[in-house]
Homo-oligomer: A and B are copies of this chain.
Amino acid sequence: MIIVLKPEATQSDLEHILKRIEEWGLRPHVSRGEHRTIVGVIGDEQKLQAQPLAALPGVEQVLPILKPFKLASREFKKSDTVIQVGRVRIGGGSLAMIAGPCAVENYEILDTIAAAVKAAGANILRGGAFKPRTSPYSFQGLGEVGLRILHDIGQKYDMPVVTEVMDPRQVELVNRYADMFQIGARNMQNFDLLREVGRTQKPVLLKRGMSATVKDLLLSAEYILSEGNQQVVLCERGVRTFEDSTRNTLDLSAVPNVKGQSHLPIIVDPSHATGRPDLIPSMARAAVAAGADGVHIEVHCAPEKALSDGPQALLPSQYAELMRELRRLAELLGKVIS
């Protein structure tokens, strides 16, 4: 931690700061420059990050030097973490191909879609039973009925299933039916929910919030890890910008950016990021080329009848075509789709 003093800071401001630092059991180190005096702090920076140093009189700015997350960091664990969801491995060269409809609507539709994505090569089935919808008047999901359908069809096609959990009170219920929890973008900083899934031992797919930095995303992962659950897969799904011709702006640089700082796997969701089927295949290819550990794609057999986000779903035939391309790309890059 570096504390930069204001040009007008007095000697007694400085002494007050030094005293404080020593009270916290740390060692200060003063450098007097031509224009500014700075104080370096030696010792456990984590202790300091919780302190309101910027409020001390005479302080101009406080510059942290260490990252604020620990368990999620590459410094803490050098090798790539590989997450196992059923028999599917995510990370370390193995790609998750997650596909399915936005929402579970009924048994027949999900059955049709699951058969198609399985045949195309998907290895994890997705489908929402609890839907976070911007408007209270939109379809909100089938709840437990949807969870049961998802679970049964996953069994039928031998695919592990992932579904969103929105409320800490649903964690136990969802845990009974799903192989992987999804935390949606709107809940990335729902800290009570993060803690609750952190207390299970089931893999969690944690989606980046629409205005979350990469650091925020890793801090949210830290919430789950710090409760004891080490099974976290991150997901880039677009951030909000001024560009209005796509739903969000997919930040693919988050993929190598996360991989440099963290050992956790990261996948990409081009469906929610773009909201446009004409852009999804290009962005899925780009994601794999950027080094993502998988892609998450919405597929629906009748997008015009879907109860949620139909317009952004690929048709099964489009998905099959995309999977052919992704397989060749994965092979070129030395990756495996299990």
Seen from chain A, the residues whose Cβ lies within 8 Å of a Cβ on chain B are: 2, 4, 7, 20, 29, 31-36, 38, 40-46, 49-50, 52-57, 61, 63, 65-66, 68-69, 75, 132-139, 166-169, 186-187, 189-193, 209-211, 213-216, 219, 222-223, 226, 239-246, 249-257, 260, 273-274, 278-279, 282-283, 285-291, 303-307, 309-311, 313, 328-329, 332
Instruction: Evaluate contact between B260 and A278: CB separation under 8 angstroms.
Output: yes
Q: Are A136 and B226 in contact, CB atoms less than 8 angstroms apart?
A: yes
A253 near B274 with CB under 8 A, answer: yes
Chain B nearest CB from A81 CB (Å) reads: 18
Residue in B45, B239, B332 whose beta carbon sits within 8 Å of that of A35 in the complex: B45
- Of B52, B253, B256, the residue contacting A273 (CB under 8 A) is B253
A259 nearest CB across to chain B (Å): 8
Tell whether, in the assembled complex, residue A215 and residue B245 are in contact, meaning their CB atoms are under 8 Å apart. yes
Chain B neighbourhood of A246, CB < 8 A: 253, 257
- Residues from chain B with Cβ under 8 Å of A63 in the complex: 2, 63
Q: List 26 A-B contacts (CB under 8 A).
A: A2-B38, A34-B42, A40-B40, A46-B137, A50-B137, A50-B307, A52-B303, A52-B304, A55-B303, A55-B310, A55-B311, A57-B304, A63-B63, A68-B134, A69-B135, A132-B189, A136-B222, A168-B168, A209-B211, A213-B244, A214-B243, A214-B245, A240-B242, A243-B251, A260-B279, A286-B287
Given known A40-B38, A253-B246, A253-B249, contact A132–B191 (CB-CB < 8 A): yes
Does A213 lie within 8 Å of B52, measured CB to CB?
no
* B192 & A166 in contact (Cβ 8 Å cutoff): yes
CA distance A138 to B223 in the complex (A): 11
| Residues of chain B contacted by A7 (CB below 8 angstroms) | 75
Question: A314 → chain B, closest Cβ, in Å?
Answer: 11
Query: Are B305 and A49 neighbours in the complex by a CB distance under 8 Å?
Result: no
Residues in B with CB closer than 8 Å to A214 are: 243, 245
Q: Which residues of B contact A305 (CB under 8 A)?
A: 52
CB-CB nearest in chain B for A289 = B289
What's the least CB distance linking A84 to chain B, in Å? 24
With both chains docked as a complex, state the minimum distance between the C-beta of A72 and any C-beta of chain B, in angstroms. 10
Q: Which residue of B lies closest to A68 (CB)?
A: B135
Shortest A325–chain B CB gap in Å is 9
Tell me, in angstroms, the Cα distance from A254 to B252 when the chains sit together. 12
Residues from chain B with Cβ under 8 Å of A191 in the complex: 132-133, 136, 166, 186
The answer, among B69, B134, B286, B287, for a CB contact under 8 Å with A189, is B134
